[in-house]
Amino acid sequence: MNFDLASQPQFVQTAAGYALQGWDVAKGWLLSPAAWSQFGLLVAAFLAAWLLTRRLGPWLTRVLTPPEDARSLLATLRRFVLVFVALLLPLLAFGFTAIGEQATRAMFGSGAVIAFGKRVFLFLAARILVREIITDGFLKLLGRFILIPVMALYALGLLDVATARLNEMTVALGNIEFTLMAVIRGLIAGSILFWLGRWSNDQTGGYIQRQQEMPPATRQLATKAAELTIYGIAFILLMNIVGIPLTSLAVIGGAVGVGIGFGLQQIASNYISGVILLLEGQATVGDYVELDNGLAGTIVQTTARAMILETFDGRWIVVPNEDFITTRVINYSDQGSSNRYEVPFRVSYDTDINQIPKIIEAAVATHPDVLSDPFPPDCELRAFGDSGVEFAVEFWVNGLDDGRNRYTSDVGFLIWNALKDNGIQIPYPQRVVHMKQAEA
């Protein structure tokens, strides 16, 4: 087959050259007895793997499937291995083909066809891995657009050619030049490393948060320290893989230091303030706090830069960590601490006020959330007002009087009912007007 391709573009000539080489290889295989023997071995290996998979697959599935409620380390390991049963057919075919390749090379001195079959079985294994086993979206994306194309090139015997071409092509970044292969390798390695970093960070953070004997602030600090360590190691490994010397990071570190000194002061201040808050434990997740500027809410999340407060009306407020250090903060500490509230009321001047404290204190003490420790309900005389005698009852509760808790409202109802039951009148506002008649 002779074609005059001199007038065609270079890539057409190159593609035609590869096509002619493939045709020559295929023609050689079709006309070679050794090749037909290898084709026969490939078919036999596949059939043997298929028959063995039909026997082993259900048995392995039964053995590896743990009880549904099992949560031990062994059960987790069994579930992990179970998902790879889908690879049994291509891997067994690959193993049988490898045995056949040794026999073929010993008999005919050639094993190109059966070696091609081995690579095809590996390609099929990679395809099953991406389509049926990997569930993470990011890893599935890497498998679909990187692993499968690479395995396809390997199966066709073009991986070395493609690698050599990528090593010849360079990408310039200022005064630094990288080969295209180095860039691709860095992107792939970086993606995998930082996915592993995210996964290990989630696992480490979950393990630390389950250690209930540690104070919440210590758990938060340990989680952030583990996160920085994991991503720092991933970054250093990536620099080594790409080939960037770590000594060059000193220059980058100096530039970052200058940036922090001039443009990133606020970010650095918030980050350091966050570390101080975690170390001192003055405000942690679950605490109800009120800042000097009037912002108030429950801390639902802490980050390196800020704390997130949730108000009782469902709004989230992002408060920089520095505000917790440089301003006054009232921490009501909703996690089991006691808070005191009071409800004012007044009675008529016709009332025997000596009976009021006993009646009101007994009524308020019946509320299930009112505490007797540190102090029981305390009814105090506050003033002799214009319209009546003014009292207030103080009481202690665990929690905050807002949201789902309505302590002052409940106590107000108790006061009303107690006064009504004892015939005590709550006066209306009154004014006494004296009219003086003018003399004739």
- Tens-digit pLDDT profile for residues 78-130: 888 888 888 888 888 888 888 777 766 666 666 677 778 888 888 898 899 88
**pLDDT value of residue 252:** 60
Contacts 24+ apart (CB under 8 A), 153-160: 154/119, 154/122, 154/123, 155/116, 155/119, 155/120, 155/122, 155/123, 156/119, 157/116, 157/119, 158/18
DSSP for 121-179, please give it. Answer: HHHHHHHHIIIII---HHHHHHIIIIIHHHHHHHHHT-HHHHHHHHHH-EEEETTEEEE
DSSP for 319-360, please give it. Answer: EEHHHHHHS-EEE--TTT-EEEEEEEEEE-TTS-GGGHHHHH
- Tens-digit pLDDT profile for residues 218-233: 666 677 777 777 777 8
- Per-residue pLDDT at 428 exceeds 70: yes
Could you tell me how far CA 141 lies from the centroid of its own chain? 19
**Helix, strand, or coil here: 265?**
helix
Residue 370 in contact with residue 357, Cβ under 8 Å? no
Least confident of 152-156, 175-179, 223-227, 383-387: 175-179
Token pair for residue 242?
């790409």
Give backbone dihedrals phi and psi of 339, rounded to 5 degrees, phi first.
-130, 145
**pLDDT value of residue 244:** 66
338-421 to CATH, choices 3.30.1360.30, 3.30.70.100, 3.40.50.300, 3.90.1150.10 = 3.30.70.100
Q: Residue 403: left if φ>0, alpha if ψ -120 to 50, beta else—which one?
A: left
**pLDDT value of residue 394:** 93
- Tens-digit pLDDT profile for residues 356-367: 999 999 999 999
Residue-averaged pLDDT of the chain:
78
Assess if CATH 2.30.30.60 describes domain 266-331.
yes
Domain positions in the chain are 32-168, 178-244, 266-331, 338-421
Q: What is the CA radius of gyration of the chain?
A: 39
Q: How far apart are CA 329 and CA 276, in angstroms?
A: 15
Amino acid sitting at position 11: F
Mean pLDDT of 247-258: 60
